[in-house]
Amino acid sequence: MISTQDSEIERSKQWWLLLAVSLGTFVFSLDVHIVNLALPRLVEDFHSDFATVEWVPLSYSLMLAVLVLGVATLGDIWSKKWLYIIGLAAFIASSLVCGTATTIYLLIAARIFQGVGAVFIAVLSPVIATEVFPDAKRGLALGIITSTGWAGVSLGPTAGGVLIEHFGWRSVFLINLPICAIGIVLAILTIPRVSSNKGRKDFDFSGALILGITLTCLLLGMTRMQGEDLDSSITWVLLGISVMGCVSFLWSQKQSDRPLLNLSLFRSLELSLSLLLSSISYAFSTGVIFILPFFLKLVKHYSEQQLGLLIAVLPILAISVGPVAGFLADRFGERSISTIGMVLLLIGCLTISTFSEELTVTGYVLRVLPFGIGVGLFQPPNQSAIMGSVPSQYVSVASGLWFFSRAFGQVMGITLIGILFSRLSSSQLPVDIPFSATIAPVEALVFGEQASFRIMSAILVVAVVISVLLWQRQNSTSTQI
């Protein structure tokens, strides 16, 4: 029989465990956007170019997209505790290399390794909390983890701006070391050893490998399109491999008994289109946060601290609106609220496309306001729709698909906005002058930013149409019931 004192110790241990996984979630979320503010300075310090520096955030997001479908399966096969600790250890080691990197290529390689650690942290944190906390406290625990993730996203720009301005860009990576070290100690002491299913040996390594090769070749090919490599045979070979890889991956998943991606779920039009909209929303929200530091730094010449405060407006708006969106979705329906959010995303994209050299702080806030509110209104109801569009036994799979749609959208957002911005800006330069973001005329950068977001707005029009069709479909279904 467990004594009252022992029970109190166990309850206390649960909250220390929650702190351990929350610290991991915080630092993983922090590093999604904190590095973006340093990108203009990285171009200068490493004497690099826009397309190469773009891989600093891109490589991190790429690992999330490649590994997310497999890490949950590994958690069922091996110890979640030690996989989580390995993820934190990888994050520490890679952050140290990032903070001391002497070349841009070493920095990118370290960011790839950091992304590997991040995906273990992101996927396993809520799973560990779910296994440890009783039903009565599980919602609270998961809510705290989610809140710390959003805190990391919102603090990324502001903290990054302060750190870069006072301590240099390397500090945005070195700050991870003490946070992760505390997380590792707490994880070792508090996370229990939950027995794993060692008899399972059905992890789809071939599918994971094909997916990794496919996405990497796709992004390498698209990145080369930003420069003068559009007609290069290597570019088209990479894109061709990505197409063949996509076909091979889908075929392998259809043949596998334990696939990374359950293709039968995509027979649901609701799920398929909701995941597509999720990818689009994350692509554009990530693309905005990726490109704004270049505009605000190189066109408006704001300091890193000012830049960080301005960029933070977007995630703060999204975080503030998110709970309201959930409440409204419960009352008026998920599709009605998510459609309003998508319309606001479109309006925000159009207002951001009016940025100019005369932009004021007030003008900036007013222009990004619809976009930030739109993100907050769209994403929570759409995620809820995704989770509710599958049978109960596939909820975990749906959660993994949502995370994949998020990571894939972030990867594609950085890539697409990078292609548009660099090629449209370079179109304003003489033919014999290569594009460099740090030395390009202000007029060229303004044109590239404005034209890029107008093209993105055209894509968002399609997303609005899809969202309206899903709204009508939901209304017709509820009417029939």
Which region, left, alpha or beta, applies to residue 301 given φ > 0 means left and ψ of -120 to 50 means alpha?
Answer: left
Give yes or no for residue 96 having a pLDDT over 90: yes
Measured distance CA(455)–CA(170) in Å, rounded: 34
CA angle in degrees (0–180, nearest 5) for 236-241-244:
125
Q: Which of 389, 354, 369, 370 is nearest to 278 (CA)?
A: 389
Give yes or no for residue 351 having a pLDDT over 90: yes
Express each pLDDT in 427-436 by its tens digit.
877 766 666 6
Q: What are phi and psi of 197, to 5 degrees?
A: -85, 80
The maximal CA–CA distance of the chain, rounded, in angstroms, is 82
Contact assessment for residue 33 and residue 97, using Cβ atoms and an 8 Å cutoff:
no
Which SS3 state, helix, strand or coil, does residue 10 take? helix
CB under 8 Å to 293, separation ≥6 — which residues?
36, 37, 39, 40, 307, 311
Q: What is the pLDDT confidence band of residue 346, given thresholds at 50, 70 and 90?
A: very high
**Is pLDDT larger for residue 191 or for residue 462?**
462
Q: Which residue in the block uniquely carries the two structure tokens 């739109």?
A: 374
Dihedral in degrees, nearest 10, Cα atoms 343, 286, 271, 383: -80
Kindly report which listed range (96-105, 434-443, 462-471) carries the lowest average pLDDT score: 434-443
C-alpha distances out from residue 241 to 54, 221, 238, 248, 427, Å: 22, 10, 5, 10, 29
pLDDT of 439 reads: 72
CA angle in degrees (0–180, nearest 5) for 426-429-432:
100
Count of C-beta atoms within a 10 Å radius of residue 43: 22
Contact assessment for residue 395 and residue 351, using Cβ atoms and an 8 Å cutoff:
no
Q: Which of 14, 13, 7 is nearest to 129 (CA)?
A: 14
Measured distance CA(48)–CA(41) in Å, rounded: 10
Express each pLDDT in 155-177 by its tens digit.
777 777 778 878 888 888 888 89
Average pLDDT over all residues of the chain: 79
Contact assessment for residue 279 and residue 244, using Cβ atoms and an 8 Å cutoff:
no
Q: What is the pLDDT confidence band of residue 75, given thresholds at 50, 70 and 90?
A: low
Contact assessment for residue 372 and residue 352, using Cβ atoms and an 8 Å cutoff:
no
Measured distance CA(71)–CA(121) in Å, rounded: 10
Domains delineated in the chain: 10-193 (1.20.1250.20), 204-257 (no CATH), 262-481 (1.20.1250.20)
Q: What is the pLDDT confidence band of residue 350, given thresholds at 50, 70 and 90?
A: very high
Q: Which residue in the block uniquely carries the two structure tokens 């241990």?
A: 13
Contact assessment for residue 25 and residue 121, using Cβ atoms and an 8 Å cutoff:
yes
Give yes or no for residue 44 having a pLDDT over 90: no
Q: What is the pLDDT confidence band of residue 392, given thresholds at 50, 70 and 90?
A: low
CA quadruple 9, 10, 15, 21: dihedral positive or negative?
positive
Which 8-state DSSP code applies to residue 265? G
pLDDT of 8 reads: 45
Q: What is the pTM of this model?
A: 0.76
Give yes or no for residue 5 having a pLDDT over 50: no
pLDDT of 94 reads: 92
Angle between helices 269-298 and 361-388 (to 10 degrees): 160
Kindly report which listed range (73-77, 150-154, 448-452) carries the lowest average pLDDT score: 73-77
Task: Say what percent of the chain tops pLDDT 70.
Answer: 83
Measured distance CA(207)–CA(215) in Å, rounded: 12
Express each pLDDT in 217-258 by its tens digit.
887 777 676 655 555 677 788 888 888 888 888 888 787 777
Express each pLDDT in 259-314 by its tens digit.
777 777 777 788 888 888 988 888 888 888 888 888 888 888 888 778 878 888 88
DSSP for 393-425 reads: GGHHHHHHHHHHHHHHHHHHHHHHHHHHHHHHH
pLDDT of 347 reads: 93
Give yes or no for residue 93 having a pLDDT over 70: yes
b/e sequence 211-236, b meaning 16+ C-beta within 10 Å: bbbbbbbbbbbbbbbbbebeeeeebe
Q: Which residue in the block uniquely carries the two structure tokens 């995906």?
A: 119
Structure tokens, 97: 């290399």
Express each pLDDT in 361-391 by its tens digit.
899 999 989 988 888 888 778 877 776 777 7
The whole-number average pLDDT for the span 136-161 is 69
The whole-number average pLDDT for the span 131-138 is 66
